[in-house]
Structure 1
Amino acid sequence: MQTFLDEIEHKTPAGIAAAIGRLIAAGRLAPGERLPTVRELAAALGVSPATISHAWQALGSVGLIESKGRSGTFVRQQAPHWLPARSQSMVGHHQQTRIDLSRGTPDPALLPALGPALSRVSERAVTPTYQDLPVIPELLALLTKSWPYPVESITVVDGALDAISRSLEAVTRFGDRVIVESPGFPPFFDLLDQLGLERIPVDVDENGIVPASFKAALTLSPTAVILQPRAHNPTGASMTPQRAEHLARLLSTNKRNAKTVVIEDDHSGEISIAPDVSLGAWLPERTLHVRSFSKSHGPDLRIAALGGPTALVDPIVARRMLGPGWTSRMLQTILYDLLTNTDSIERINDARRLYFARQKGLTDALVALGIDAVQGDGINTWLPVADERDAIVQLAASGIRVSAGSPFIATDLAQQGHQPQLQAHVRVTVGALTEDIELVAQALASAAMGPVPGVHTLETRWA
């Protein structure tokens, strides 16, 4: 009990939760360890049981503790071991919370309706032979017409990560080096680890990969580059055509990078406000461009297009024929319907405008509160904070869940503790923010600056 009393500086729900969070992060409270009861800790601190209950709710909502009924409340055990390392660190224990801005998924209310598309698809399978073309002709024609550069070959796979995985397996070998954005998408880092590939982190600003950082990384002779051209996850940055041309020029001028393959994950293109851009406009012979429709049309569609030179795409198609074969042509027909139906197109246009409005509304509110915020594109934004763990717990005490920033950094999680110069961040899924923008901005601003004694949480304001 004395450990708790010594650590707690502010006897508010946020202050108590932050203190317990620090004890867990430091290992002074081990997984499975039983916590004091609400009444015991309330009596020791001289606060009401409701104050401790709010603190416990905040810690539970971010997955740090769990209640086991009459047995008590315990520090939560580690995430399931079948999850990749960074997925374990990101795993959400999604208990009920007032506003969940942690998931990185689109607002379900802004997705086009699948019912009408399903009703227009034939009830019978239309694949008479296993050797049919892997992409239905009408979808292939539509994708080819809308591709950001003239492309030789396009296939369809089971989502963006499937496309990235198959691209890496086709162009790299164990021990190769791959340039990745930092911050970047954590599953990419796990995937590289699984394939025995070495990460080369490069910096990202509001226009994409920073050229100076990219130039330095190219001296290490990478086999591939993975980048997100639009609505970058987690920052919300979108690459400008000028930046894309600059990066392509850097790749072209060094002979040691003559075979480096660019793999682009355009996961949010349909809801991005930025123009379509790809290094393939300058390097078509070694660019694999991935266009996913999960953020715009629904995560459960599990469908993405992968395009590039025939010499790179055909081996991927051939390898898939020895596994899943092809992506369901019924799913492809549904996607084609959604991409051409007037109502669905209008719904996507509305979603794009609404996501932009939510991003702008939150950014304007944060700037008005003195936070140096940069408006993101798509559904996510990257918020600098004084301390990651304190910010997450303080926001949880306010009824708001966000994602920790550390899993998005390309260096190993164990090494990040030895890099004090790194600015702490949290990822905020602004696309899920449908109301209370001013109050959420106040909570985010408070969390960004660190806990302030005497400041009430939103839990109190909204009670």
Structure 2
Amino acid sequence: MTSGPDGATLTALEERLDTPTAKGLAHAVSAAIRDGHLVAGDRLPPIRTVAAQLALSPTTVSAAWALLARSGTVATNGRRGTTVLDARGGGTTRYRKALERPSTFELDLSTGVPDPALLPDLGAALAGLTSAPRTGSYLDDPVLPALGEALRGDWPFEVAEVTVVDGAMDAMDLVVRTQLRFGDRVVVEDPAFPPLVDLLESMGAQLVGVAVDEEGLSVEGLRAALAEPVAAVFLQPRAQNPTGVTTTRRRARALAELLSGTDALVVEDDSAAGLSSAALASLGRWIPDRTVHIRSFSKSHGPDLRLAALSAPAPVLGAVSARRQLAQGWSSRLLQQVLLSLLTDDAATAQVRTAATTYAARRASVVSGLRARGVEVGGSEGINIWVPVHDETAAVVRLASQGIGVAPGAPFRLGAPAADGGHVRVTVGLATGDLEPLVDALADAAQTTGWSGRAR
């Protein structure tokens, strides 16, 4: 080994290198950081030096550095080399880019949140807590038996157990942390939900983006991705965020058949439960032994309930439960009682149905108006639309100048920048009143170019 700082680093890496692969080297660097041999600000040796000393190819080392960069562990800056980052800095880059907008918009359609006016009234559910069972024990069942029964009775495929967690992202975080390892290849939709991408990249996953068409995740795209081992496939089966695409039964079956010969875990995030007019086509119908299904109630019943239900194969569910015991243990049974009341109360159920109808009407009005103005929007349901634009930045700026906030499309995409100009995500579920002015503004922005700032 060479002497000096590089020599000490190379020795630390060699001692921790279990396998001569990109993933193995990335693990070695992570272990060296965890053990204190590398700290934030330290510069890793040049790629060719590492390759020569550890008997690896430069390509392998470069791939390891790329894995580490995607997880936020290191940053590569040309001739300045590759530097260890402060792991405490967090990893919500895409989420911040998608949602960090000025709060002064007259009409902010950038958020992806439901209309508060369309959420069910909590009055009766909260009043019912006065007669609810006591919740003073750490040893009670983590899920209220009556809620578990109600959830299983409406689940898209037969399951023995459903647990309750603190929202869809908590569910996905638990699955990711218990089932994935650094460097695992993971298939995600492209475009994808930015917080999920941030979560997976923070864990060092190799993301493989697969396109979404009008029936769901592309079969051919998934087939190409499966040419190499895939650890998990993440899907949004209804009202995909941002495109609004709902997976058809035909597509779900084709995807399940393709995955049936693999070891990949399927993770379904159904955030449109209660607000969708389409029957849910879950892959769990065909491959239940490898399907994790997550049902969120944030958009239908209220984000502040912070509740989602999760089913999974027994080993996965056991790992999730064990992980939860190291932290919160269970989701508040008082909130579970509120959710149970909302799910079983006729008035609340009617309010959710009204919300679904209202969201559908708002979406249809804007989409048909844009079509009449020459702007075609795909998808079929949900509170968001994915609007194609000639110039993404120009479109966002033009709308902002009119007091309308939308989310740029770039944080949702995994591949190279769109050659067709890009997209903006618009939360039309928040649009009320006369929608014609909004449609006019969106159509004009879609045709705006960066050269003139005016519609062409």
**What is the letter of the counterpart of residue 339 of structure 2?**
L
Structure-1 residue corresponding to 2:188:
180
Query: 1:450 & 1:322 partners in 2: Cα distance?
Result: 52
Alpha-carbon distance in structure 2 between the residues aligned to 1:408 and 1:98: 24
CA distance in 2 between counterparts of 1:301 and 1:423 reads 38
Rounded Cα–Cα distance in structure 1 between residues aligned with 2:285 and 2:322? 26
Contact kept, 8 Å, 1:208 with 1:229, in 2: the verdict is yes
- Whether 1:409 and 2:407 are equivalent positions in the alignment is no
Bigger mean CA offset, 377-386 vs 163-172: 163-172
What is the match of residue 419 of structure 2? 421
- CA deviation after TM superposition for structure 1 residue 422, in Å: 5.5
Partner in structure 1 of residue 225 of structure 2:
217
Which of 224, 240, 258 lines up with 1:250 in the alignment? Answer: 258
Q: Which residue of 1 aligns with 2:138?
A: 130
Q: Where in structure 2 are the equivalents of 1:45-194 lying within 5 Å?
A: 82=90, 84-122=92-130, 126-194=134-202
TM-score, scaled to structure 1: 0.76
Amino acid at match of 2:425: R
Between the aligned partners of 2:435 and 2:295, the Cα distance in structure 1 is 31
CA distance in 2, matches of 1:218, 1:182: 16
Match of 1:443 in 2: 441
Q: Aligned letter for 1:430?
A: V
Change (3 A) 1:82 1:167: closer
* Cα distance in 2 between the residues matched to 1:83 and 1:312: 25
Contact (CA 8 Å) 1:152, 1:309: kept in 2 or not? no
CA-CA distance at 1:309 after TM superposition: 2.1
**Which residue is 1:20 aligned to?**
none
Q: How does 1:301-450 map to 2 (within 5 A)?
A: 301-411=305-415, 416=416, 419=417, 421=419, 423-450=421-448
SS in 2 for 1:358: helix
Q: Report the alpha carbon displacement of residue 221 of structure 1 after superposing the two structures with TM.
A: 1.1
Equivalent residue, structure 2, for 1:72: none
Alpha-carbon offset, residue 322 of structure 1: 1.9
Q: Which amino acid aligns with 2:366?
A: L
CA contact (8 A) 1:81 1:88 kept: no
Would the aligned equivalents of 1:99 and 1:400 in 2 still touch at CA under 8 Å?
yes
Larger relative contact order (Cα-Cα within 8 Å, sequence gap ≥ 6): 1
Residues 175 and 320 of structure 2 are in contact (CA less than 8 Å); yes or no, is this contact kept in structure 1? yes
User: 2:196 and 2:453 mapped to 1: Cα distance?
Assistant: 41
Shift of 1:168: 1.5
**CA 1:348 to 1:263, structure 2 compared with 1: closer, same or farther past 3 Å?**
same
Deviation at 1:380, TM superposition (A): 0.5
Contact kept, 8 Å, 2:394 with 2:448, in 1: the verdict is yes
Shift of 1:314: 1.7
| Matches of 2:365 and 2:214, distance apart in 1 | 18
* Partner deviation per Cα, 1:184-212 (whole Å, 9 max, x = no partner): 10011110111111101000012210111
Q: CA deviation at 1:139?
A: 0.3
SS in 1 for 2:188: strand
Query: Do 2:132 and 2:337's aligned partners in 1 also have CA atoms closer than 8 Å?
Result: no
Q: How many pairs were matched up?
A: 367
Deviates more, 1:311-320 or 1:149-158: 311-320
Q: 1:328, CA displacement in angstroms?
A: 0.5
Other-structure match for 2:82: none
